[in-house]
Each structure stands twice: as C-alpha cells, then as structure tokens.
Structure 1
C-alpha cells in the first residue's frame, strides 16, 4: 500500500468512526418534546388498590384536564409485565410523553428503552428504575418523587427519641424490588442501627397491601411475642398491623408502637386516635409538579435528574391540626 493510499484509508476510516460515534451519541440523546398548546400525555399507573395511588391518579388527571391535555391512562393492577405492555400500547397510540410510575426497578427498563427508541420522552413518578441500567438525562428525562431513604431515616430518628424503652422491631416491607421498599428499609435500618439499642427481630414484605400487612403482622407477632414496635413501609400495611395487634389482645400505639409512611387521611386520623404513633408523609399530589416539568422540558430547560417532592411529618403534636390537609 502506498503512502497516499494509506493516508486516504486512514482518513476514510476516521470519517466512518466519526459517523458511528455521532450515531451512538444521537441514540444516547433524549427524545425532544415540541412546545405546543396541548399534549397527548400517557400515565402508566402501577395499581389503584390504595388511597395513595388513587390520590396520585386524581392529581395527574385533574391537572391534565385543567391544562386541556388529552389524558391516556392505564392501570397495571400490580403487574410489572402488564405495565410494560401498557407503555407499549401508549407508544402505539402516539402519545407525546409518558409519565411512568414503575412497579419495580428492573422489569420496567424495557418499557423505558422502548419509549426512548420510539422518540417519546419518559418522566418517572414516585418510583425509580435501576440506575445501573437506565439513567436520567440519557434514557428518561427525570425522576419526580420523594426521598425514600430520608423517609425511613425520619421514622428511625423519631423512634430513637420517643421509644420509651421499646426496642424490638418488626418491619413490614413494601413490594420486593420496588425503589420505595428498598430505600425506606435502607434509610430506617441504617439510622436505627446507628442510634443503638434497637433490634429488628423480623423483616418481611407485606407488598404495600392492607390485608397482606395484617397477615404478615399476625404471623410475626406470634413468632416474636416480645416485639413492641412495628414499622410499616406504608399506611395500608400499618392499618393492617393495627388489626393484627388488636387480634393479639394488645393495644396499638401503647403496647406496640406503630410507625408508617404515606400520610393518608385514615393514617393521620389513627395518629389522632393514638393507634399510630408517627407517620412520614409521601406526597401523592404529583400533577402540578409533573406538568410543570413537562413544560420546562418542552421549553428546552435543563432538567435536574431528580425533582424532589417535599413531605410533611405527622405525630401527636400536629396530627389533629393537619388532618384536613391530608389526602
């Protein structure tokens, strides 16, 4: 090969490489969202079996109607597989953007990637996906939600200050593999271990469901009759645990402290009634923040990878006064 032909070969190879790299970079970019007067928005909900989810859906729908947007809604009924199918259906319907509340961190990755490939931006609501498999700003726009680790930590910090000698904890975990369950456990377990003097005698999933929470609490109270604290990852399981405590002939809130996360009206009322001792709110009213983020993205603003929802805290000092504001 001559010097000239070698040089031409190298230049050609470099050009091909640059095109390939450009293609890779283009694929890595997020789909754009045009500025329009109205949008066809999809909301892929994970389930509707509790007040928190219902409040979230109502907020998303009400805000869409207020803005004059077409609202395409699906309910996965607690199935990650159905939720993936729901997102694929929205892609087929040609929505402008998809709001996704992923049931689990890993199984919803294909849905996120399918939307990206179809040129439809995705905003995650209240639950995240596995960060090692998909990233904000690259595969989806952002995650809007609470700081679940901080929620668990706040419960532990309250308990450390108000335990009055109670120290044996039953933990009712949320849906296995979901980001709130993972993070609420991490935040609580680390903070309560750091506080010292406490033991988590049992930790088992109640799948964020009231009846499952009751059943698990009943079994764990029988196995650990000396347990004197129940920490539930959500209100539904906490309310189920109250029934289990009463069935065991004990007084919830006194014989056994009950701690929860979500802050629905029924749980805040239980704080007023003395059956739940403290609740960290997980704000379900996503509508205003979600559509504000949509507008910012369409405008071309840089969106932070995590848009944080702020959460209240309820205990006997403020529950009665705040009851009317709870969802």
Structure 2
C-alpha cells in the first residue's frame, strides 16, 4: 500500500508540474503574440511630447500592445541609433517623431528594408516611406495664430517670430502658415525671426536680444508654447500689455498663460489624440490592414473668450 501511495503521490506531483509548465508556456505564448511598438520621440523635455506619449501609452495598454518609448533628446544621431536598435530587435512597428525630418530619412529607409512599418507623428519624414503621417494641420494653425495676433494688436505694428528646430516640418509649416496669414494685414511688419529651438530657456535669451534690437515690437509669434513662455519671461510686465504673445500647442502652461493674460492666444493641438492615432495606425499596419496615408487632428485657437473650455 505504501508503494501504491508513493506512486500516486509521484503521479500527482508530476501532473502538477506539467500543468504549471503548460501554464507558463501559455503565458510565454501570450507575451510573444503581444505586438511590440517603439515610439521614438524627439524630446521628452517638452510637455507637448509628454502628453503625446501618455496618449500613446494609454492606447497601447488598451489594445494590449507593448509600447517602448525612447527619448532622442533633440539629437538626430541619438535618434538614428535608437531606430537602428529597433531595426535589429525586429520590432513589429515604429512610431517616429523626428528630431529632423530630413536626417531621419536614412533610418526610416533601413526600417522599410526590414519590412518594419513606420508611422510618423507630428513631423514628417523626408525621403522614405511611412505607413501613415499623423499631425495637426500646422499650416492652418499658423494662419490662425496670425489672425489672433493681428486682432490683439489692432492690425498695426512690428512683430517678431520665434522659430522652432530647423529642419522640422512642424516649424516649416507653422512658419509658412503664419507668413501667409500675416500677409493679409499690410499694417503689420515682421521685423525679425530667429530660431529658439522650441525651447523656453533659449527663447528667453533670443527674445531679450531681439527686443533690444527692435524696441518698437508690439507682437510675438512663437511656433510653440515653450518658446512663447520664454518670450513672456523676457517681456516681464510688458507681456499682455505693451506686447502681445501668441503661441502654439495648447499645453497646460500655455493655457494657464492665456488665462493669466500674459499670452493672447495659443493654437491648441491635441497631443494625446496624436499619440492614440499613431498607435492605432501602427497596430493596423502590423495586422496588414489598410491605413490612411495622412490623418489630421483639429487645432483650435484658444483666447480669453474660450480658455475656460480648455483649462484643467
């Protein structure tokens, strides 16, 4: 009897081990089937891209995808290395927000060669194929900013423009839209424009220098809210009184500045929606489904009249 009980015990233990092993294998199989998407962002030192990341992460979690976020820290070489790593790791798809639209082309071409679908978000990729480009209508937004700034300064006076990172489609398109929009106001002259690299601290220095060279300026257009807030710092008490500042992005800080009256307007994007749509496009491309080549997210002019709708 002892021998029979021992045999039964061994059989039971063996069955338990096999069941546990099978369970582990099922879990491994589930993990293996989870699509992996790399999100390469130009920088996370900007609230706009933090919100974009959060929107992408929430959608990836909801859809059961493994989202791996990397920060290029505004360096094209770093981004190239990150995309090469994604390529060598046989990532299922890549979402890229280029540091430089031209420079990233070679890396995306390599991903094309490995049959890894690429989705561009907020900024285009030059010279390579992407499954989809997802962005706000930056040209339209630039025109809206021109209209808001012109209204604030009564259609008269000198203005300066703070440009974003050279080589990015967002900077080119917003600048183009603003130039086209402001041309409708012959009483307004753009007396200076200079890059401040989408950065608040850089914009503080650049604006200070431009104001010294152009003391009659009554308006500032910044191609993102971070630069607009740097201009506000440079202006001090003059912001919102002697000099009107318009930004672009609709970040939390930008909205707060419109509420406070130090910024006259910001063109609100919806970065969370950009991130969500980018993940959806990447997963559709992985599945072999049809993906829209271009997807636009609406931009809205936020002023004191409607800022309460956007304040958190």
User: TM-score, with normalisation over the residues of structure 2?
Assistant: 0.86
* Partner in structure 2 of residue 207 of structure 1: 197
Which of residues 241, 244, 255 in structure 2 aligns to 1:254? Answer: 241
Deviations along 1:57-95, whole A, 9 cap, x unmatched? 122222212222112221111101110110000111111
CA contact (8 A) 1:42 1:99 kept: yes
* Partner in structure 2 of residue 54 of structure 1: 50
**What are the residue-to-residue correspondences of 1:89-238 with 2, within 5 Å?**
89-130=85-126, 133-134=127-128, 139-164=129-154, 166-238=156-228
Cα distance in structure 2, aligned partners of 1:165 and 1:120: 50
1:292 shift after superposition: 2.5
Give the ranges of 4+ consecutive aligned residues of structure 1 lying more than 6 Å apart after TM superposition: none
**What are the residue-to-residue correspondences of 1:58-73 with 2, within 5 Å?**
58-73=54-69
Cα distance in structure 2, aligned partners of 1:183 and 1:83: 22
Cα distance in structure 2, aligned partners of 1:107 and 1:295: 25
1:273 shift after superposition: 0.8
Deviations along 1:229-282, whole A, 9 cap, x unmatched? 011001111111111001xxx421110000000101111111111100011012
Higher relative contact order (CA 8 A, sep 6+): 2
Going from structure 1 to structure 2, the CA distance change for 1:56 and 1:153 (only over 3 Å counts) comes to: same
Q: Which runs of 5+ in 1 are unaligned?
A: 1-35
In the alignment of these two chains, the number of paired residues is 280
Q: RMSD in angstroms over aligned alpha carbons? A: 1.6
Cα distance in structure 2, aligned partners of 1:82 and 1:146: 25
* Partner in structure 2 of residue 273 of structure 1: 260
CA contact (8 A) 2:37 2:94 kept: yes
* Partner in structure 2 of residue 84 of structure 1: 80
Deviations along 1:154-198, whole A, 9 cap, x unmatched? 111223333225421110000011111111111101211133211
SS in 1 for 2:220: strand
Cα distance in structure 2, aligned partners of 1:317 and 1:125: 30
1:304 shift after superposition: 2.6
SS in 2 for 1:164: coil
Which of residues 71, 74, 77 in structure 2 aligns to 1:75? Answer: 71
User: TM-score, with normalisation over the residues of structure 1?
Assistant: 0.82
